Amino acid sequence: MDKFTTLTGVAAPLPIVNIDTDMIIPKQFLKTIERTGLARGLFFELRFEEDGSEKPDFVLNQSAYRKAQIIVAGDNFGCGSSREHAPWALLDYGIRCVISTSFADIFYNNCFKNGILPIRVSQADLDKLMDDANRGSNATLTVDLEAQEIRGPDGGVVTFDIDPFRKHCLIEGLDDIGLTMQKADAIQAYEAKTAAARPWA
């Protein structure tokens, strides 16, 4: 998993409440277990017409936001079914951070396991960040995980809270497998001891 320390990137405004996982990645894209190739399906029904052409009004189809790395979204982001393809699709598109007032628990947890930083802020702070994100090509935010700060294009600062363990894992790039591999020596010692004590097992 890629480390997350400081991210400076374009922030796309998505002021929609209750964006569920089916809106993030519709069910027809769930046939794969691969984590790549899902960017095309991200916000598919919001991004594309039935004939496959882009909807020009959708934020990620606008030239200023095509390479957005941050999403500033409405309340209750990631609700709905517990599909891990949702953070996979965001990550495959290039989104490393989502900012909202609240997230569905399973989506929130899945983000950390895939190297995406979900940030909870107050409504007042979200309003400020949404205003920043609405500046088109000037909608650049800096997310500093170590300092737990979001810095706006005009120098404004929003602070956020995060669980220390999750913060550590993101900074070090540790998913569940990475955490397990940190204990590789102890695991190997246990396996060797067990093999010697119970060679028939």
Residue extents of the structural domains in the chain: 6-197
Question: Is 201 a residue whose pLDDT tops 70?
Answer: no
For the segment 40-62, the average pLDDT, to the nearest whole number, is: 96
* Residue 64 vs residues 17, 69, 139: alpha-carbon distances, Å: 23, 12, 8
CATH superfamily membership of 6-197:
Aconitase, domain 4 (3.20.19.10)
Largest CA distance in the chain: 68
Condensed to tens digits (0 to 9), the pLDDT of residues 60-100 reads 999 999 999 999 999 999 999 888 999 999 999 999 999 99
Question: Is 195 a residue whose pLDDT tops 60?
Answer: yes
Classify strands 140-144 and 6-14 as parallel, antiparallel or unpaired. Answer: antiparallel
Tell me the whole-structure pTM to 2 decimals.
0.88
Higher pLDDT, 1 or 141: 141
Lowest mean pLDDT segment, chosen from 29-43, 53-67, 115-129, 175-189: 175-189
Count the neighbouring beta carbons within 10 Å of the beta carbon of residue 158: 21
Contact 120, 102 (CB under 8 A): yes
Q: Which helix (H) or strand (E) holds 184?
A: helix 184-197
pLDDT of res. 30: 86
Question: Is 176 a residue whose pLDDT tops 70?
Answer: no
Question: Is 180 a residue whose pLDDT tops 60?
Answer: no
pLDDT of res. 127: 97
